[in-house]
Structure 1
């Protein structure tokens, strides 16, 4: 919630704010969000924050089914939500279906991944790393074949958040990591893992700051991309690690 508020209040275009004022700069973005209030509710104050409510809704659905002793319904419900999300999302160019919100948001895709993770843990499912990696590679290939096929119907290639192959891709990677528990077991890895939530919630705001800086410096092309990439990595790291040393840590990263 706090990062949605920060995203709503932070100006994205400093040039417009300087020339036209704070409210003029912010009113355009607020108006955009109000055009689709239900979607904005599930997405949050900035586009990347969709992951957090989606995860919370998925966990809530699973917890409710466990509480009601209906765990046998978890996987069918999750699969049903995923199918609807896919048919009304990327595959809508073929099916003609629609959804009240952008299907990447909300429970449509997140529930299946959370449920599968729960079932893998509950049933102690372990694969050989080679088999898991093969599943991930097949899933990745399936994902891109699907994306190519949908592109023939007019679906823009890079707008496919989740496809059917994405599930196999993700599950394969998850099983591979379970088969390699010592992979990345380094002090620097543990240090970064403690801050992963902070990196996630703050990084896009830093990207916006870097875009403004690049515009101010008159950078374009490769120079602009280099500044945005490395500037975001360094500034986000310093910002999060700095905030973690203050009392704000418990407010911003809990």
Structure 2
């Protein structure tokens, strides 16, 4: 099943939740305004579908996970990315956090500071569907609602100001998410989903999700041992090799660049870089 947060013709100021069981989009409970809100219902998988929604009736797909309580990210989790950074495979995940307002939509423009050394980081994101605390990998797997696409757009100059990455990763509205959530019963990242990032149509990252050092259940379980995860929370699983900082010489995003981030079986983000004026 696919789930999405959308705006529709006829009521463009209100977000709606739609579902696709394989036969096209249908409207769910009109009281719901995001997929994350849907996931907080214990019977979210059994929510009845409403009227059919034609594709042309959808004005825009938005970030499906509008208000997560927690956004936790894993760095250095693809084998080829770790090697390009000159590091050894880690014993434990390297983690950092974002705020909910760091997130933005799948087609939203990204407006960093004009002088930022802006880099791309294609990522598979895990959407939590059940409360998890000190979970086993099997419990964590059962608690995953589904998967979506993200890009951990990073200000490398800010990131390098200290040994902590946080300030280079948490600028407002710089982490696109979407366009849909594919439920966990419909896909398995361990099978090796293709993940790519392109800048102005040129592929710069190209890998598969079976290259994760810490796979999705293991990562979710690990995080749950120090903080309680709840439905609607988001975990970004890391980026493969091919980031701009790792190139010789380093390459960064410029004003007007189009970043396309895709994960096989889910969809693609398309985000235009529009630097803030100096």
Same fold (TM over 0.5): no
Question: Which is helix-richer, 1 or 2?
Answer: 1
Which structure dedicates a bigger proportion of its chain to strand?
2
Classify the TM-score, shorter chain. under 0.3
RCO comparison, higher one (Cα < 8 Å, 6+) = 2
| TM-score normalized with structure 2 length | 0.26
Normalised to the residue count of structure 1, the TM-score between the two structures is 0.27
